[in-house]
Amino acid sequence: MTAKNQRLMLVVLALAALGAAAVLALSGLKDQAAFFYAPSDVAGGLPAPDKAVRLGGMVQKGSIRRAADGVSIAFVVTDGRATTPVTFSGIAPDLFREGSGVVAEGHFRPDASFAATNLLAKHDEKYMPPQMAGKMHETTTLKDTR
Amino acid sequence: MATLHALANPARFLRIARPLTPILWWMGAALIAFGCWAGLTQTPPDYLQGETVRILYIHVPAAWLGMGGWSGIAISSIVFLVWRHPLAAVAARAIALPGAVFAAICLVTGSIWGRPTWGTWWQWDGRLTSMLLLFFVYLGFIALAKADRERGGDGRIPALYGIAGTVLLPIIRYSVVWWNTLHQGASIGLTGSSIDRALLWPLPFMLLGFSALFGAIVLMRMRAMLAIAKAEARMQRRARA
């Protein structure tokens, strides 16, 4: 084996090791690097009530209830397998609406409901012009739910 | 392999690079100008994001070149380590700065988009954090390559670093698949795109334009580096005489 082929072999081995390292990092950090809990993640056991966590999922259609004070809202987050009721009082982002993704920051209460201190809208990978969206999606804005 | 060997000859490389630089430069400028005009005036707004969707015409090419730049550094480093072509080390050094700049553009435009869309400038989510790491890894490469050169090193240490840094590329790519992240999944895949065609069509122009511009910058930097090396060698010869 010439020196050049030996170096080539070493580089190939190094790349294979790096690929394995990336896979290990991706799978090993799955729990730690998760940005949020999904409702079905916490079905088995709740994180400690005073621990600050994030809850993510879709806002269930028809679940947004606005309180009389005008800033408090209650809604249900679902991931298709489980649901979690959430309460929040404050300013929700523009893209927060029913049927859309949401990430709520806050903590779980002992009764498995979630008290949010901040809301982030999660956008999906679909992009389309408004005329088309009107035909394909029934979009409910905050104005409609008021 | 024959073409690679031919290009490894600096004189032959310069003969090709000299006319290619302005071609890439003007091609990139024209494509970007057209892409900007199309993206700003000819496409409809998005049904949810409104006008902020237009940031994607800069954000996506910048992300693509931020990661593509590191692939270029990795390939150059492998060619340098295995075949010992000095020009490959020059290419890796030339790519590092524009690669870092495009990674930074990706991070800044993403942040500007995140404020109205997500409601936050920055979150430590898997995709955002791994891209920020890539930016820091670029800075590390720039510093390491400079230090290695100043100390008269043979370029092997930055080349090894260039290969090691590739570990981030699959992590960035699959962070949105394997981890749950605030950042959405990939819109454009091999099988199609979940971006509607009415919104998507200026993007290929911007991608091509940014890539041509990137190529022109890399060629310019390589030519400048070769000229500096030549001048240094001449000074040394004169000092000895």
- Tell me the pLDDT tens digit for each residue of B6-45: 556 788 889 999 999 999 999 999 999 999 999 998 888 8
Picking from B45, B126, B169, the nearest residue to A35 by CB comes out as B126
Quote the CA–CA distance of B167 and B162 in Å, as a whole number. Answer: 10
Query: Judging by DSSP bridges, how do beta strands A114-122 and A83-89 pair with one another?
Result: parallel
Give me the percent of chain B exceeding a pLDDT of 90.
63
Burial A106-130 (b: 16+ CB within 10 A, else e): bbbeeeeebebebbbbbbeebbbbe
How far are the Cα atoms of A10, A17, B236 from residue A6, in angstroms, in the given order? 6, 16, 35
How far are the Cα atoms of B16, B104, B230 from residue B24, in angstroms, in the given order? 12, 22, 25
Mutate to test the interface with A, among B1, B48, B200 (most CBs of A within 10 A): B48
Q: What pLDDT, on the 0 to 100 scale, is given for residue B82? A: 92
The alpha carbon torsion through B175, B176, B179, B182 (nearest 10 deg) reads 120
Angle at B58 between CA B57 and CA B62, to 5 degrees: 125
The number of residues making up chain A comes to 146
Is A127 known to sit in a ligand binding site? yes
Question: Helix (H, G, I), strand (E, B), or coil: what is residue A101?
Answer: strand
Q: Which residues contact A96 (CB under 8 A, 6 or more apart)?
A: A59, A102, A119, A121, A142, B119
A138 interaction partners in chain B (CB closer than 8 Å): none
Extract the residue ranges of chain A whose pLDDT is less than 70. 1, 131-146
Picking from A33, A119, A124, the nearest residue to B119 by CB comes out as A119
Picking from A4, A120, A129, the nearest residue to B44 by CB comes out as A129
Give me the helices (H) in chain B, please.
2-8, 10-37, 56-83, 86-118, 126-150, 156-164, 168-178, 197-200, 202-240
Beta bridge partners of A77: A59, A84
A100 interaction partners in chain B (CB closer than 8 Å): 48
- At A22, the amino acid letter reads A
How far are the Cα atoms of B1, B46, B183 from residue A125, in angstroms, in the given order? 40, 12, 9
Question: Helix (H, G, I), strand (E, B), or coil: what is residue B17?
Answer: helix
DSSP H/E element including A58: strand A53-59
Range of A104-108, B200-204, B218-222 with top mean pLDDT: B218-222
> Between chains, do B182 and A19 touch, taking CB under 8 Å as contact?
no
The residue of chain A nearest to residue B169, with distances taken between CA atoms, is: A22
The pLDDT confidence band at residue B152, using thresholds 50, 70 and 90, is confident
Any idea which of A122-126, B61-65, B81-85, B93-97 has the lowest mean pLDDT? A122-126
The pLDDT confidence band at residue B177, using thresholds 50, 70 and 90, is confident
Residue of B157, B221, B197 lying closest to A128 (CA atoms): B197
Quote the CA–CA distance of A38 and B9 in Å, as a whole number. Answer: 57
The alpha carbon of residue A23 is apart from the nearest alpha carbon of chain B, in Å, by: 8
> For B67-88, what is the mean pLDDT?
94
Q: What pLDDT, on the 0 to 100 scale, is given for residue B45? A: 84
Q: Which residues contact B148 (CB under 8 A, 6 or more apart)?
A: B155, B157, B158
The number of residues making up chain B comes to 241
Q: Chain centroid to CA A95: how far?
A: 14
Dihedrals phi, psi of A89, to nearest 5 degrees: -135, 125
> Between chains, do B118 and A122 touch, taking CB under 8 Å as contact?
yes
Residue of B144, B130, B113 lying closest to A94 (CA atoms): B113
Residue A146's CB is within 10 A of a number of other CB atoms, namely 8
Q: What pLDDT, on the 0 to 100 scale, is given for residue B7? A: 59
How many pairs of residues across A and B have Cβ atoms under 8 Å apart? 137
Quote the CA–CA distance of A76 and A60 in Å, as a whole number. Answer: 6
The pLDDT confidence band at residue B71, using thresholds 50, 70 and 90, is very high
Is A107 known to sit in a ligand binding site? no
Mutate to test the interface with A, among B67, B76, B118, B174 (most CBs of A within 10 A): B118
Question: Helix (H, G, I), strand (E, B), or coil: what is residue A107?
Answer: strand
Query: Which residue in the block uniquely carries the two structure tokens 């982030």?
Result: A120
> For B193-221, what is the mean pLDDT?
93
